[in-house]
Structure 1
Amino acid sequence: MDSLSAISEELAEIDGQIADIFRALSNGFQKLEKIKDPSRQSRQLEELTEKMRECKRLIKDFDREVKEVENRNSPDSNRMLNDKKQSMIKELNSYVALKKQYASNLENNKRVDLFDGPGGEEENVLLASSMSNQQLIDRGNEMLDETDQSIERSKQVVQQTINVGAETAAALKEQTEQMSRIVNELDSIHFSIKKASQLVKEIGRQVATDKCIMALLFLIVIGVIAIIIVKLVNPHNKNIQDIPGLAPPAPARKLLWDQN
């Protein structure tokens, strides 16, 4: 630890954490040997596995820190650090192998004997070697019946799943058709709005034209009224003599024999 502190405080701290985990793993496996309950053994193995994962992460941090300070160290220091890392990996692998061994033993203990019955410990003690042929046949028939029932339940579950899938597919198809109809209706509405907009523009142009015509007629009527007023006020005005209906009547022509 002191030599690591002289090289890097970070390396010394990581080394201390790894050493603490190794002590915890050693104590944990010793405790595991005394546990007889399979469920407690399983929980203890899970805790030890979590500690081994943490140790693996710390070893990676240790290796990364070693590479960062490698250029500043002497060859002897680098060799010492590499040996330290290899020692950590070797010790961790030994605990991993021990964990696999315990896990395998625990799995073997959990296996149920082929001829174990559901009636309790007294039936579990009954082994195949102590059974008669008829008992073996009866037990085999019971297991076949249980297997058939399990298969039948599985078929029912599969059929229910198929039915739910078919209903879901039908619902999706109906929704897709409904969405397609909505899209078509939206296209129709858009087309109608476009036609209505064009019609409004045409009506607007016609109204503008009609307004121009009405304005022109209004001006003509105003002009005629003005001329009539002027004629009434000044009937001898020569400028409006030639306007039809406003000029004074022409003098009566005298015949030649009337003069004679």
Structure 2
Amino acid sequence: MTLKNLTAIVTGGCSGLGHATAIALREAGANVSLFDLNEELGATRVEELGSDNTLFTKVDVRDEASVQDAIDATTHKFGAISLVVNCAGIAPAKRLLDKEGNPAPLGDFQKTIDINLVGSFNVSRLVAAAMAKQAPINDEGERGLIVNTASVAGYEGQIGQTAYAASKGGIIGLTLPMARDLAPLGIRVNTIAPGVMGTPMLLAMPEKVQDALSANVQFPKRLGLPEEFAKLVIHMANNSYLNGETIRLDGGLRMPPK
């Protein structure tokens, strides 16, 4: 898939991994549609990336109507959609039982699953329906690519990460069956499972916390860069034989219990 003049949707596209991905996609010549809740930041990103080739829509990824309206706005401005990168998500931490033995609130667990897992599925299914109606973009019959964002926590969830690890493990589990479902339509599905990434949220933490998080990274001995996540998205788009795969992006990290 050659990205020049194609259109990509990036959920959570105004900050962190999504913002870095949006920049890389624009540099590759793609139109970018940002799905996010932050309207003020969305306006800033459109100005930065260029209003002719960038669109922002306020979207709750859990809500079918919200997502469908944003897809419709994207196709109205740019035409066919060839790529979606699901970066929207939250990362709460709470032990199953607190120090007094009280169970974690069920609503907190449900919210994490709804945003991270159900939200990714919701956007993917609705974008796939739009892609399926489009003409192939190359001689192999490719119509599009879906890239979901998991985490190494989906394999090695730490203490306090029951909700987050479950949501990301679910995304890993979605990858192959979703790819198989969409293969006859020429739509690929891949997942990236990042390790500890230097997003603005993490970089705002004290240096000693950052050092502790990167202590188990093998090489290079540092936090991952959002730009490195974006590079992998670009490679997944360019390499049409990469399908149904979850790739860890973690410097050889294996997460300890805490």
Query: Normalised by the size of structure 1, how large is the TM-score?
Result: 0.24
TM-score (norm 2): 0.24
Between Structure 1 and Structure 2, which shows a larger proportion of helix residues?
1
Greater Rg by CA: 1
- RCO comparison, higher one (Cα < 8 Å, 6+): 2
Structure with the higher fraction of residues in strand conformation: 2
